[in-house]
């Protein structure tokens, strides 16, 4: 098992973590990626080497996502067949929690029938948790639940485990900074991977002192994939409603109006999602993706027509009946569009709780900071 630690401007907690991990299990391989921290932090990385880590890196900061992908690529080339656990460098994750996630990854690797799964170290967010971290995770969790159809308690955890079979996919997912880890969650189901979780301690440094998170820029990066998905679906609803009103003025047939409006809006939604929202799904041939998508649209169309017909027959104006029916079918449509365009499975998550109880929050940072991308040649310590 490889422990991958991306590090940007770390302090003495990094070499201490390396030493503690190798003391707890000498069989571990610890890989540290220096995300362009600069010469001033060279002594910290030297201490990490002396503690037993292999250190790679590059001179310019490129973000946590790129640092993780650099580590994944290095492991894929030099340690094929090894699973990976990613941990932060600032002491936010305890050794026992890291080892528990590693054990869960190894247990899942032996279960071929269940398929590959990423394992999330899930924090409880109880006790003295910084307001920014509590609110940020709550917002991301809510948006992710509506966008992906999967209920995860902690979408921003940096403690994650991956089996060796996922390494090629991990290197292919877009994102250089904090948005990368959210992209992994959004695309896991589409790629055929399950998501499991295991309870870990919640630890925070006073005032998030080790965090390199930039609230405006990095928040925009994190929420962009979720917002694009939500806006696309809402735009499709607007197009559908407008087409419904216009077609209703041209024909007296409710069935023709509903079918025409849905054909226009679903075509626009399909093309928008394929090109802008789910660009990672373009590898699927257009005819196949379109067939799957519109097959399900037909089923939704039948439900849409039935709802409008029943409400209109009861005396409700057709436009009002349309809005109410769409509201009732919104989340069904949302899930259907995601599944039939990308292959994402809403039931892909299996929650696994560890026997280790959540610890009360002690003061350590919510996120450890942007990590780095390419290997810095000459900085390996085998």
Predicted confidence (pLDDT) per residue in 328-368, tens digit: 776 666 555 555 544 444 333 334 333 333 333 333 322 32
Q: In the structure, what pLDDT confidence band is assigned to residue 373 with cuts at 50, 70 and 90?
A: very low
| 3-class SS of residue 117 | strand
Confidence check: pLDDT of 186 > 90:
no
In the prediction, which pLDDT does 169 show? Answer: 95
Predicted pLDDT at 207 = 47
Q: Would you say residue 53 has pLDDT above 90?
A: yes
Band of residue 112 on the pLDDT scale cut at 50, 70, 90: low
Q: What are phi and psi of 57, to 5 degrees?
A: 170, -165
Distance from C-alpha of 277 to C-alpha of 25, rounded to nearest angstrom: 42
CB 98 within 8 A of CB 107: no
Residue 322, pLDDT score? 80
What b/e readout covers 223-234, taking b as 16+ CB neighbours within 10 angstroms?
Answer: bebbebbbebbe
Q: Quick one: pLDDT at residue 381?
A: 36
Angstrom distance (rounded) from CA 211 to CA 159: 15
Give the pLDDT of residue 285.
Answer: 59
Report pLDDT for 94.
93
49 vs 284 pLDDT, higher one: 49
pLDDT at 304 over 50: yes
What is residue 70's predicted lDDT score, i.e. its pLDDT?
Answer: 97
Q: How many CB atoms lie within 10 A of CB 125?
A: 16
DSSP-derived secondary structure letter, 317: -
Q: Residue 279: helix, strand or coil by DSSP?
A: helix
pLDDT at 28: 96
Average pLDDT over residues 6-16: 95
pLDDT score recorded for residue 382:
34
Angle at alpha carbon of residue 302, lines to 300 and 305, rounded to 5°: 110
The residue with greater pLDDT, 148 or 363, is 148
Residue 85 has pLDDT above 80, yes or no: yes
Tally Cβ neighbours within 10 Å of residue 142.
13
Query: What pLDDT was estimated at residue 126?
Result: 59
Distance CA 152, CA 195 (A): 9
Query: Closest Cα to residue 240, out of 216, 253, 227, 257?
Result: 257
- Residue 64, pLDDT > 80, answer yes
Of 128-132, 222-226, 373-377, least confident by mean pLDDT is 373-377
Average pLDDT (133-159) is 66
Tokens of 324: 């109410």
Q: C-alpha angle 299/301/305, rounded to 5°?
A: 125
> Hey, what domains does the chain have and what are their CATH numbers?
2-224+346-363 (3.90.550.10), 227-342 (no CATH)
Span 229-239, average pLDDT:
73
Contacts with 49 (C-beta within 8 Å, 6 or more apart), sequence order: 55, 381
| Mean pLDDT (the chain, rounded) | 75
d(CA 260, CA 248): 10
* Residue written as token pair 């990490």: 48
**Residue 174 pLDDT exceeds 60:** yes
Query: Two tokens at 94?
Result: 């305890």
Per-residue model confidence as pLDDT tens digits over 69-80: 999 999 999 999
Residues 6+ apart with CB under 8 A from 252: none
- Asked if 143 contacts 230 with a C-beta cutoff of 8 angstroms, the reply is yes
332: β partners: none
Residue 364 to residue 202: CA distance in whole angstroms: 9
Does residue 134 have a pLDDT over 60? no
Q: Is the pLDDT of residue 191 over 70?
A: yes
């Amino acid at each position: 098992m490889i422990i991958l630690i991306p590090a940007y401007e770390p302090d003495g907690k990094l070499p201490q973590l390396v030493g503690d991990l190798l003391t707890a299990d000498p069989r571990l391989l610890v890989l540290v990626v220096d995300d362009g921290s600069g010469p001033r932090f060279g002594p910290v990385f030297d201490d990490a080497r002396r503690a037993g880590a292999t250190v790679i890196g590059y001179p310019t900061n490129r973000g946590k996502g790129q640092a993780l992908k650099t580590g994944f690529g290095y492991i894929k080339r030099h340690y094929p067949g090894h699973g990976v656990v990613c941990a932060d460098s600032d002491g936010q994750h305890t050794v026992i929690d890291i080892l528990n996630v590693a054990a869960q990854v190894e247990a899942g690797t032996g279960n071929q029938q269940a398929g590959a799964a990423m394992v999330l170290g899930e924090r409880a967010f109880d006790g003295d948790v910084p307001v920014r971290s509590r609110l940020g995770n709550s917002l991301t969790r809510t948006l992710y639940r509506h966008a992906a159809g999967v209920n995860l308690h902690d979408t921003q955890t940096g403690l994650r485990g991956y089996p060796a079979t996922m390494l090629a996919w991990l290197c292919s997912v877009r994102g250089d900074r904090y948005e990368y880890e959210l992209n992994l969650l959004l695309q896991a189901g589409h790629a055929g991977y399950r998501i499991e979780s295991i309870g870990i301690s919640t630890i925070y440094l006073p005032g998030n002192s080790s965090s390199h998170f930039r609230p405006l820029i990095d928040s925009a990066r994190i929420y962009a994939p979720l917002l694009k998905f939500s806006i696309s679906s809402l735009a499709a609803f607007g197009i559908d409603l407008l087409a419904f009103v216009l077609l209703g003025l041209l024909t007296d047939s409710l069935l023709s109006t509903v079918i025409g409006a849905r054909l226009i809006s679903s075509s626009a939604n399909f093309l928008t999602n394929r090109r802008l929202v789910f660009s990672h799904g373009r590898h699927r041939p257009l005819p196949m993706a379109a067939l799957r998508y519109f097959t399900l649209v037909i089923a939704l169309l039948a439900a849409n027509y039935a709802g409008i017909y029943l409400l209109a027959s009861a005396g409700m104006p057709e436009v009002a009946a349309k809005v109410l029916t769409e509201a009732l079918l919104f989340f069904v449509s949302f899930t259907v569009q995601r599944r039939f365009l990308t292959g994402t499975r809403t039931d892909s998550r299996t929650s696994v709780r560890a026997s280790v109880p959540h610890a009360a929050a002690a003061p350590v940072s919510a996120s450890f900071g942007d990590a780095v991308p390419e290997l810095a040649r000459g900085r390996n310590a085998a």
